[in-house]
């Protein structure tokens, strides 16, 4: 046991002739607040897809709590404790907000019991996230920030050990960004390890204890927010020469 919750060792992912990830390695400690940044197209979402199981990596290992999960289908990884939210929200359109949460609660958190308390648990999560007023509204009728919150709530409903938030704040106002940020802080205090992918720099800087920077499929920097901000390679990646 290496002591890390998540370990990505030399992961490579190719699409035809295009290499999206090139021997990327990183480690996330249990309980950490971890940031993943990089210019557009640098491979952040691809990496998340490989970790969550939406994609299979071509090379390298992915270890969760010391166990290699690269061969597991995504739903089993979720049951082990990895949950993610999607960049573009993917609500279950025929269901209400509450029902949306019941799916991960039933399938990821309680896969054998399919307990009768699921709706009550779902309501609790909605209260935490501030969506309980909309519990019985159809999920497609929500506005932008409500959708983002629902994405996050769904990931929370899977009762994960590791929660990956993929650009959950894009397009939100400053106040709304703070809302989501506070929620993530609260979750982290409750013991959930959080990996945040974001373009909104002040959010990432405020939130993360450590940051990894990707560019063109490779890791170019790693360290605390201050270290990363002052890194020349990072500056070059974002601003060019």
Partner 1 sequence: MKRTFPFLIGLSVLLVLFLVLRGVGNRYYYFASYVILQYVLLATAWNILGGYTGYVNFGTPAFFALGAYTAVLLILLFKAPLPVLIVAGGLVGGLLGLGIGYLTLRLKGVFFSIATLALAVVLQTMVVNWEYVGGAKGINIFRPPSPPWFSNYVEFLFLVMGVLAVASVTVAWWIERSWIGRGLAAIRDNEEAAECMGVPTLKLKLLATTVSGFLLGVAGAPFPYYVTLVEPASAFDLNYAVNSLAMPMIGGTTTWMGPVVGAVLLGTAQQVATVTISSELNLLIVGVVLVGFVILAPQGIVGLVRKVWKERTA
Q: Which of residues 63-102 bind partner 1 (CB under 8 A)?
A: 73-76, 78-79, 83-84, 86, 90-95, 99, 102
Structure tokens at 125: 């999560």
Contact 170, 87 (CB under 8 A): yes
**Least distance to partner 1, CB of residue 79, Å:** 5
* Near partner 1 by CB under 8 A: residue from 6, 37, 47, 109: 109
Q: Which stretch binds partner 1 (CB under 8 A): 24-32, 63-71, 128-136, 152-160?
A: 152-160
- Is residue 131 a contact residue for partner 1 (CB under 8 A)? no
Question: Shortest gap between Cβ of 44 and partner 1 (angstroms)?
Answer: 17
First CA to last CA distance, the chain: 42
How would you class 180 by CB atoms within 10 Å of its CB: exposed for 0-12, middle for 13-18, buried for 19 or more? buried
> By C-alpha distance, which of 232, 234, 175 is closest to 203?
175
What is residue 107's DSSP assignment?
A: I
Among 14, 54, 172, 222, binds partner 1 (CB under 8 A): 54
Q: Quick one: 73 or 141, whose CB is closer to partner 1? A: 73
Burial class (CB in 10 A: 0-12, 13-18, 19+), 196: buried
Can residue 52 be called a binding residue for partner 1 (CB under 8 A)?
A: yes
Q: Please give the residue ranges that form the binding site for partner 1 (CB under 8 A).
A: 52-54, 73-76, 78-79, 83-84, 86, 90-95, 99, 102-104, 106-109, 111, 114, 154, 157-158
């Amino acid at each position: 046991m290496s002591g890390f919750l998540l370990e990505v060792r030399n992961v490579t992912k190719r699409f035809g002739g295009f290499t999206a990830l090139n021997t990327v390695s990183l480690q996330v400690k249990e309980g950490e607040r971890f940031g993943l940044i990089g210019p557009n197209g640098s491979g952040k979402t691809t990496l998340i897809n490989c970790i969550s199981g939406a994609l299979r990596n071509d090379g390298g290992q992915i270890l969760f709590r010391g166990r290699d999960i690269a061969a597991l289908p995504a739903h089993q990884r979720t049951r082990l404790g990895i949950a993610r939210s999607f960049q573009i929200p993917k609500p279950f359109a025929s269901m209400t907000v509450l029902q949306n949460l019941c799916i991960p609660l039933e399938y990821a958190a309680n896969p054998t019991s399919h307990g009768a308390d699921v709706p009550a648990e779902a309501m609790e999560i909605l209260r935490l996230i501030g969506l309980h007023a909309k519990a019985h509204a159809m999920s497609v009728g929500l506005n932008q920030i409500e959708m983002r919150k629902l994405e996050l709530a769904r990931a929370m409903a899977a009762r994960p050990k590791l929660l990956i938030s993929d650009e959950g704040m894009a397009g939100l106002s400053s106040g709304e960004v703070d809302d989501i940020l506070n929620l993530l802080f609260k979750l982290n205090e409750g013991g959930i390890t959080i990996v945040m992918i974001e373009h909104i720099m002040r959010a990432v800087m405020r939130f993360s204890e450590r940051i990894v920077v990707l560019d063109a499929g490779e890791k170019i920097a790693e360290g605390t927010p201050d270290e990363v901000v002052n890194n020349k390679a990072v500056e070059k990646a974002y601003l060019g020469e």
